[in-house]
């Protein structure tokens, strides 16, 4: 009887809300959000608000909202692939997903800037919506930080480098991690987001630890760090690496990795869909390490067009800057959204 009572009240409230022309809320939305959240205390209270402060890399769905307040919110989590300065397409994608900065959260999978001609607008959007926008650093984001800190020039990033808000961009970018972990409480699913992926030679605890190492170094030693991270060596991870060789190797795995050898060694000059003998896509091995509730979302590898062949390893770089598409995924139901390059 109690279950029937809960369902009856739920349907009545949905019908009531559906009659309110000020609330854009359909049955599919209702199912999705009820599925995503948890009853607490009584059928008239839900937990559903997400919370992520600057020092945390974990989302939680635990804050209680009364029912009236709950139905005013349409809390969704979206991860967006490589934007690379394509702000016009980002705007079109946000319109398509009906993004509301007061209700939803965006996580960018790195490479916000470069090659496209609207990098400044992308950064302005992120900083303007800092409470609802999170991101991991990609290799192009590191490159921009290097240019800023060492007073270098680059034609493709000229507008950013000459902007009056350059210090603001620098400060925001330096706070970003290499890895974000998102936990959905109701479904128990976990999503790990990094720009290039996570190598099979690290477990998730190690990956988070190494991300934190680089993030700490960016805060305390950024000038020297950004000068010394460039290069393809060391080609393989060794926990005994120190100083900038260690930082460079961590960054290369998180932001430049595509193919790995059987020993976990990097082959950074291979960028196509197919590798060479002895090297396979990083995710073929990493997939074997994941639990059934764990997922990895990455960007960086445009030639894959998002296709990994593995259900819980999701590529989001679909080559927008190369004339293809910009892609986002909604985490609670894993639905993909795409817009074509204009």
What's the number of CA atoms in the CB half-sphere (13 Å) around residue 140?
Answer: 21
Cα 58 to Cα 113, 190, 257, distances in angstroms: 25, 10, 24
* Phi, psi (rounded to 5 degrees) for 335: -80, 135
Q: Encode the chain (342 residues) as per-residue pLDDT tens digits.
A: 444 444 444 444 444 444 433 323 333 433 333 333 322 222 222 233 444 433 334 443 333 333 333 334 448 999 999 999 999 999 999 999 999 999 999 999 999 999 999 999 999 999 999 999 999 999 999 999 999 999 999 999 999 999 999 999 999 999 999 999 999 987 899 999 999 999 999 999 999 999 999 999 999 999 999 999 999 999 999 999 999 999 999 999 999 999 999 999 999 988 887 778 889 999 999 999 999 999 999 999 999 999 999 999 999 999 999 999 999 999 999 999 999 998
| Cβ partners under 8 Å of residue 205, min gap 6 | none
Of 64, 14, 17, whose CA–CA distance to 39 is shortest? 64
Write down the pLDDT at residue 226: 98
pLDDT at 275: 76
Residue pair 313/306 in contact (Cβ under 8 Å)? The answer is no
DSSP alpha helix (H) spans, the chain: 2-18, 27-36, 67-70, 87-96, 119-128, 139-149, 158-161, 166-174, 204-220, 222-228, 243-255, 282-286
Cα atoms found within 13 Å of the Cα of residue 17, Cβ hemisphere only = 20
* Whole-structure pTM value: 0.80
DSSP lists the bridge partners of residue 192 as 181, 296
Give dist(CA 82, CA 317) in Å, integer: 5
Q: d(Cα 52, Cα 182) in Å, to the nearest integer?
A: 10
Q: What domains can be seen in the chain, in order of their start residue?
A: 2-70 (no CATH), 77-340 (3.60.21.10)
pLDDT value, residue 172: 97
């Amino acid at each position: 009887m109690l279950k029937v009572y809960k369902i009856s009240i739920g349907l009545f409230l949905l019908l009531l809300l559906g009659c309110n022309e000020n609330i854009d809320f359909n049955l599919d939305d209702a199912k999705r959000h009820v599925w995503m959240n948890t009853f607490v205390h009584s059928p008239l209270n839900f937990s559903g608000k997400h919370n992520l402060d600057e020092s945390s890399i974990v989302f939680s769905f635990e804050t209680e909202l009364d029912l009236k307040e709950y139905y005013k919110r349409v809390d969704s989590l979206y991860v967006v692939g490589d934007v690379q300065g394509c702000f016009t397409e980002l705007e079109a994608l946000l319109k398509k997903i009906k993004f509301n900065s007061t209700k939803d959260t965006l996580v960018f999978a790195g490479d916000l800037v470069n090659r496209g001609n609207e990098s400044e607008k992308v950064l302005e959007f992120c900083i303007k919506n800092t409470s609802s926008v999170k991101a991991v650093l990609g290799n192009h984001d590191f490159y921009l930080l290097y240019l800023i800190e060492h007073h270098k020039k680059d034609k493709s990033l000229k507008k950013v480098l000459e902007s009056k808000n350059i210090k603001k961009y620098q400060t925001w970018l330096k706070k970003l991690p290499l890895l974000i972990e998102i936990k959905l409480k109701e479904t128990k699913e976990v999503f790990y987001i990094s720009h290039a992926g996570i190598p099979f030679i690290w477990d998730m605890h190690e990956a988070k630890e190494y991300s934190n190492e680089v993030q700490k170094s960016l805060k305390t030693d950024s000038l020297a760090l950004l000068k010394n991270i460039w290069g393809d060596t060391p080609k393989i991870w060794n926990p005994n690496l120190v100083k900038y060789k260690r930082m460079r190797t961590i960054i290369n795995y998180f932001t430049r990795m595509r193919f790995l050898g059987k020993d976990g060694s990097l082959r950074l000059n291979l960028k196509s869909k197919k590798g060479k003998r002895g090297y396979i896509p990083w995710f073929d091995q990493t997939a074997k390490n994941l639990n059934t509730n764990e997922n990895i979302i990455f960007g960086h590898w445009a030639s894959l067009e998002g296709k990994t062949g593995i259900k819980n390893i999701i590529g989001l770089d679909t080559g927008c800057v190369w004339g293809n598409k910009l892609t986002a995924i909604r985490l609670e139901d894993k639905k993909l959204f795409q817009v074509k390059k204009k």
